[in-house]
Amino acid sequence: MRPEALKPSLAWGEKKIWIDDRVWYVPTRSEQTPFTFPGWHAEGVFGNGNPVCVEYCSGNGAWVAARAVAHPDCNWVAVEKKFTRVRKIWSKIKNGDLNNLLVLCGEGQNATTHHFPTASVQQVYVNFPDPWPKRRHEKFRIINADFVADMWRIIEPSGRLTMVTDDPDYSAWMIATVLKHGGWESVYPDPFYTTECADYGTSYFEEMWRSKGLVIRYHQFKKKVC
């Protein structure tokens, strides 16, 4: 099924939060209609108690769809703001019959803060987020103190946060921001990243940056058990 053939069951202009046909719509400014997330295990979401893994900045979904195929014993959530990209992920779900993959259409931090249950996610991945390299644009970076605190809240004890970038400055920002929180420890020793990660999978951005000769940095942090 082509992405263009997929249509939401409600018009996006209605600004309503709803879950339908493997897509969870979370408009940033939704109508004041009561919504309570029923939990990852609920029918209409995943319908089972398998571990949940979330990827933010999913783009066209190539990486997360491949992980869903390779790891059918896990539930996967792709978070993407742009509906044109969401529809590409939705198409992959349909064409691959991926019942263990859900795509969230909305701004990631907003959806996480308001709807993700505490200690309900095993792994979080952030692959090649926009580095917003200019200082005046740093406020737009997804990796910030509030995001890191939200990840600590939603991830299970000893769960992991993995972040990947080709940008050395953003790499340093990620490391400093996560370690400043105090609730994480790096899986990798100083300098707290690795440039090789076997069986991690690949994506459009990784292939593009590698083709340009850029070095990819993988960061992984484990939630400390109090």
Look up residue 49 and give its two tokens.
Answer: 């108690």
- Residues that are catalytic: 130
Q: What is the pLDDT of residues 144-186, one digit of tens each?
A: 999 999 999 999 998 999 999 999 999 999 999 999 999 999 9
Percent of the chain with pLDDT over 90: 73
pLDDT score at 158: 86
Phi, psi of 78 (to 5 degrees): -100, 125
CATH of the domain spanning 49-223: 3.40.50.150
Distance of CA 179 to the CA centre of its chain: 20
Stretch 21-41: mean pLDDT: 84
The region, left, alpha or beta by phi > 0 then psi within -120 to 50, assigned to residue 109 is: alpha
Q: Could you tell me the pLDDT band of residue 28, with boundaries at 50, 70 and 90?
A: confident
Burial of residue 197 (CB within 10 Å: 0-12, 13-18, 19+) is middle
pLDDT score at 140: 85
The answer, yes or no, to whether the previous bond of 191 is cis (omega within 30 of 0) is yes
68 close to 48: Cβ distance less than 8 angstroms: no
Query: Cα–Cα distance between 79 and 26 in angstroms, integer?
Result: 10
What's the pTM value of the predicted model, to 2 decimals?
0.92
